[in-house]
């Protein structure tokens, strides 16, 4: 990190695309409903990533996060992602 750079913190959420069978989500849904914790129609299990990105401004940081998501953190064949900046 150079002196002109700031640290930006992001959370990235990844879930399987609609149409990709998610047996883990299905088992979780069944357990919720069998235990009468609620009436859940669909449950999906996904991944959460936390990234601290050093960059000169928020626009550049977002560009980096976008590339990190599409090139490494997710596989576009099976997964969707979204990310958001979080404060400390």
Partner 1 sequence: MIWHKETTIPKIDLLVLPGGFSYGDYLRCGAIAAKSPIMNAVKKFYDDGGFIIGICNGFQILTEAKILPGALIPNVNQKFICKDQDLLVTNNTTLFTSGFKNNATISIPIAHHDGRYFLTNAELQELEQNERIIFKYKNNPNGSTGDIAGVSSKNNRVLGMMPHPERAVDQDLGSVSGLTFFRSIITGF
Binding site for partner 1 (CB under 8 A): 16, 19-21, 23-24, 71-73, 75, 77-78
Residue number, 33 or 45, with CB nearest to partner 1: 45
Q: How far is the CB of 72 from partner 1 (least distance, A)?
A: 6
Task: Characterize the bridge pairing of strands 47-55 and 79-86.
Answer: unpaired
Cα 35 → chain centroid: 28
Q: How far is the CB of 17 from partner 1 (least distance, A)?
A: 9
37-44: which pairs have CB atoms within 8 A and are 24 or more residues apart?
44/15, 44/16
Q: How far is the CB of 18 from partner 1 (least distance, A)?
A: 12
């Amino acid at each position: 990190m150079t002196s002109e750079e700031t640290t930006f913190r992001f959370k990235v959420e990844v879930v399987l695309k609609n149409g990709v069978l998610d047996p883990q989500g299905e088992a979780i849904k069944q357990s919720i409903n069998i235990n009468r914790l609620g009436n859940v129609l669909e449950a999906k299990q996904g991944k959460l990533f936390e990234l601290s990105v050093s960059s000169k401004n928020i626009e550049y940081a977002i560009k980096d996060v976008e590339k990190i998501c599409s090139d490494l953190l997710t596989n576009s064949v099976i997964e969707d992602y979204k990310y958001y900046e979080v404060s400390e």
